[in-house]
Amino acid sequence: MSRKLWILSRERFGDILLGPNIRVCDLAVHAFEAGWSVSVLAAEDSRSPFSSNIEFASLRRGFSRRFATDDRVVVGELLPSWAVLELLRARQPFHWDVYGLSLPESLSFADVWPRSKTRLETRRKDIRYLLMAKAAARIWVSHPGQVVFLSALLARTGTPSDATAAFRLPGKILEVPMGCSDRPVPAGTRNPYHELAIHSPVFLWGGGIWRWFDPETVLQAFSLLRSRGVPATLFFISGRNEATSDYQAPLDEVLSSATRKGLLDGSVVFNPRRVGPSELGPWLEHSRAGIMGNMPTLESRMSWRTRYLDLLWAGKPLIVSGADPLAERMERLGAALISPAGDPGKLADSIQRLIQDDRLVESMSRSSRSFGDGFSNKEILTPAMEALEKSSGGMPAPPGISDIVRYILGI
């Protein structure tokens, strides 16, 4: 009889799969190929991305009644509040996958949202993290900085049980970052940029324009390059198609800034159509490098930029303004150039180096490809599966009445 794995997610699965969706898919497929029986429970109105070999159903009340004693459970970062309470009451040991820590992202809206909404959003995540960190058998993180962040959340409450949990938290940690795709890298594809009449070196902004990024420094750098007579194109792969009610403002700001700078004549291009993960190959193959702008914020230090994984998969360099953990790792291995946050002149210098130095591009591409080859999902997820198989016993620190009351009142 095969081992049983449950994956619980609050994400909705639709036509376009973003980072959290891809994480679930990678884990489910890898577990199935390793011999597990897999069931994924996700948000209502989702569409299954799997074959019939992997069960895909809605996360609904009563889900825990399907658990058997020896089943293994992996829980996404933030479940709905009712699902958290049901999971804790079930006393089923679980691994908590917090690779995409999102509380720092919520903090970036403090000057935009009404104060009451900011307080509510940050508090509900704060308390949920506290409960899950104490109750999880193991915690999956992307890098050690996230461990410090979670420990600090526990320690600052001042209660003895939380202080003890914070002190012991590193013993429950597994470093399970999101890895590179296991799919073969396409080669010899048609150049999609030429179809858009783009013939200068392309620097690919490989995802959405979220509020916590710094596209303005990147725009200023491309304005400087144009004044120097250096041909280069900043290409936003998601174009104008990723905006939601919360994220429309940063997209509008980029469009307005690029217009004022006169960059929409070819120095800055927004992709006219939506590109899914399976279509990225040609866009990556025919780009010069990937590019990103980070602010000097907590979000940058806590995040794991999954869009960089596409560059590692395709063997492409990264140029970034402002540091983040994965960019720093790529820089140490010779696959990235990092300039100071908010310094368009230094960023423009880095871009110009990659335009004018083919040997540097070749060297950085080799380093990127080498890193990516050893950073596949199979390499990353195999130790996590082994840890799941060894899990046994009950919930290590079941929440007490005071924890539950704080949780309920906090949201």
Query: Contact 58/46 with Cβ under 8 angstroms?
Result: yes
pLDDT at site 119? 83
Q: pLDDT under 70 in the chain at which residues?
A: 1, 241-246, 392-411
Contacts 24+ apart (CB under 8 A), 160-167: 161/134, 161/397, 161/400, 162/130, 162/134, 165/133, 165/134, 165/397
Instruction: Give how far the C-alpha of residue 163 lies from the chain's centroid of Cα atoms, to the nearest Å.
Output: 29
Q: Report the C-alpha gap between 85 and 128 in whole angstroms.
A: 10
Q: Report the C-alpha gap between 213 and 294 in whole angstroms.
A: 5
Residue identified by tokens 């995540």 is 125
From first CA to last CA, the distance across the chain in angstroms is 41
Of 137, 300, 149, whose CA–CA distance to 213 is shortest?
A: 300
Q: What is the pLDDT of residues 295-324, one digit of tens each?
A: 999 999 999 999 999 999 999 999 999 999
pLDDT at site 407? 61
Domains of the chain with bracketed CATH: 3-179+378-410 (3.40.50.2000), 194-373 (3.40.50.2000)
Give the pair of three-digit tokens for residue 104: 């720092």
Q: Is 235 exposed, middle or buried (0-12, 13-18, 19+ CB in 10 A)?
A: buried
pLDDT at site 71? 95
